[in-house]
């Protein structure tokens, strides 16, 4: 069904896997320890990450995404998907290779749709790992599952756009290194529904941006990355900060979100794979026997372990199929497959994490294992980049379209 990875992709996969085991896995605890308390959480980033990033860069393990671009490593979506799975096993596994969201999607947007000035001012520092970015789309005042509801505006006033509105769940906005936003807003209210919105580059230091608060995910504030609730009051940016053209925001979004969903899903498969490992380790730990037997032999745990492996392999194959189709027939034709994985993978991962939590007992919902955090963030992914219902609707419309005469 799938072709073998090219030698250069296979080499990168082996090197990335080894680097994660040698440099990231041993430092997970140190990363957590270096996240500061109180307000300092938003003014400081753990030093260990920067140290590991320099090691990755020196080994050529850097900017491994960006298919069909002079700025990337020359990997296809299918090839990069294998790397993303390995990175997803660790909370900061993607960042050490400069491959973490939302930067990957934002860099792809600026590489594809930005002009030379945008690329020099914002893309190059992002590629160098010197700054971070955020994507401002979701709004608190509307049902953002229908993205055409977005109400924030940008009005052209001479040589500047004047921006007003409110955004939340702007992931990465809390990071002290976040310097640029890609802001989606209404510029052409009289246009057809999907031609009213535009994307504009907005520097985080612009006058008129207020950080209202950082949103919590089941109590986790994700410091120092954060998910910002932001207000924009008469924020002025040069008209040259417009990307591609007025009314072309959805066109850009479709190009951005396809690869991003592959990345999210393959990282999620990495999370689920680690949860299954923890489940099996707990189930065979001789120090955790109950009623004279290893936990794996009690109740329905054999079934839970088997079902987890079956579901995980199915989710992986579906995601790789979507990535392969993106590479061979394009994002538009692969739209149904992309929507399918965005529904299936987080649900499968949640099921596996939940089983792993159950076999760990009280320890599973504590800070002693990564399982509770995994569950919280995987549950969030069923809403991020569009809720399940939107993607199911897209899949159903595609299927029904086969039976409706044109």
40-94 per-position pLDDT tens digit: 888 888 999 999 999 999 999 999 988 767 788 899 999 999 999 999 999 999 9
Same domain, 186 and 163: yes
Domain count, the chain: 3
Same domain, 273 and 396: yes
In this structure, is residue 88 part of a structural domain?
A: yes
Does the global pTM surpass 0.85? yes
In this structure, is residue 200 part of a structural domain?
A: yes
Phi, psi for residue 200 in degrees, rounded to 5: -135, 140
Domain extent at residue 277? 250-401
Residue with tokens 């020359």: 74
Residue 322: the pLDDT is 96
Residue 406: the pLDDT is 59
Last residue of a domain, one of 243, 277, 311: 243
**Average pLDDT rounded to a whole number, residues 200-219:** 97
In sequence order, the β-bridge partners of residue 167 are 230
Same domain, 167 and 231: yes
Same domain, 266 and 378: yes
Burial of 403 (0-12, 13-18, 19+ CB in 10 A): exposed
Residue 357: the pLDDT is 98
In this structure, is residue 124 part of a structural domain?
A: no
Same domain, 264 and 215: no
In this structure, is residue 320 part of a structural domain?
A: yes
pLDDT digits (tens, 9 = 90+) for 268-277: 999 999 999 9
Same domain, 338 and 261: yes
Same domain, 208 and 272: no
pLDDT digits (tens, 9 = 90+) for 362-376: 999 999 999 999 999
In this structure, is residue 30 part of a structural domain?
A: yes
Name the pLDDT band for 142 (thresholds 50, 70, 90).
very high
Last residue of a domain, one of 243, 259, 275: 243
Q: Give the domain CATH number at 392.
A: 1.20.140.10
Q: Give the domain CATH number at 146.
A: 2.40.110.10
Same domain, 301 and 281: yes
pLDDT digits (tens, 9 = 90+) for 229-240: 999 999 999 999
Same domain, 255 and 397: yes
Phi, psi for residue 168 in degrees, rounded to 5: -140, 175
Same domain, 52 and 183: no
pLDDT digits (tens, 9 = 90+) for 281-291: 999 999 999 99
In this structure, is residue 391 part of a structural domain?
A: yes
Cβ contacts of 305 within 8 Å, gap of 6 or more? 276, 279, 280, 283, 296, 355
User: For all residues of the chain together, what is the average pLDDT?
Assistant: 95
Last residue of a domain, one of 194, 214, 243: 243
Same domain, 168 and 52: no
Same domain, 62 and 203: no
**Average pLDDT rounded to a whole number, residues 248-276:** 92
In this structure, is residue 1 part of a structural domain?
A: no
In this structure, is residue 387 part of a structural domain?
A: yes
């Amino acid at each position: 069904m799938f072709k073998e990875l090219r030698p250069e992709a296979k080499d990168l996969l082996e090197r990335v896997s080894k680097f994660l085991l040698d440099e990231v896995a041993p430092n997970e605890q140190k990363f957590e320890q270096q996240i500061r308390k109180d307000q300092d959480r938003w003014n400081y980033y753990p030093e260990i990450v920067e140290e590991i990033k320099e090691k990755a860069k020196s080994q050529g393990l850097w900017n491994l995404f960006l298919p069909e671009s002079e700025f990337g490593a020359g990997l296809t979506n299918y090839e990069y998907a294998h790397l993303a799975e390995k990175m997803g096993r660790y909370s900061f596994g993607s960042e050490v290779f400069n491959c973490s969201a939302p930067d990957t999607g934002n860099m792809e947007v600026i590489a594809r749709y930005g002009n030379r000035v945008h690329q020099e001012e914002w893309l190059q520092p992002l590629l160098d790992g010197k700054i971070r970015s955020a994507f401002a789309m979701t709004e608190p005042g509307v049902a953002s599952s229908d993205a055409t509801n977005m109400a924030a505006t940008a009005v052209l006033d001479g040589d500047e756009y004047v921006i007003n509105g409110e955004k939340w769940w702007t992931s990465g906005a809390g990071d002290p290194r976040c310097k640029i936003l890609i802001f989606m807003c209404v510029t052409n209210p009289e246009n057809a529904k999907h031609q009213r919105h535009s994307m504009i580059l907005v520097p985080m230091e612009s006058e008129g941006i207020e950080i209202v608060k950082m949103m919590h995910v089941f109590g986790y504030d994700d410091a120092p990355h954060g998910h910002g609730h932001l207000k924009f009051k008469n924020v002025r940016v040069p008209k040259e900060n417009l990307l591609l053209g007025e009314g072309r925001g959805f066109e850009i979004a479709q190009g951005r979100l396809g690869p991003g969903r592959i990345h999210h899903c393959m990282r999620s498969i990495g999370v689920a794979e680690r949860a299954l490992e923890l489940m099996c380790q707990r189930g065979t730990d001789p120090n955790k026997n109950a009623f004279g037997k290893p936990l794996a032999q009690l109740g329905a745990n054999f079934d839970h372990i088997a079902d987890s492996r079956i579901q995980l392999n199915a989710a992986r194959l579906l995601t790789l199929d979507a990535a392969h189709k993106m590479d061979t027939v394009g994002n538009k034709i692969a739209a149904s497959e992309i929507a399918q994985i965005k529904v299936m993978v987080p649900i499968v991962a949640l099921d596996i994490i939940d089983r792993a939590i159950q076999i760990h007992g009280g320890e599973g919902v504590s800070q002693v294992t990564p399982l509770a955090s995994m569950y919280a963030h995987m549950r969030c992914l069923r809403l991020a980049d569009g809720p399940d219902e939107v993607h199911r609707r897209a899949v159903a419309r595609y299927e029904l379209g086969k039976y409706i005469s044109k």
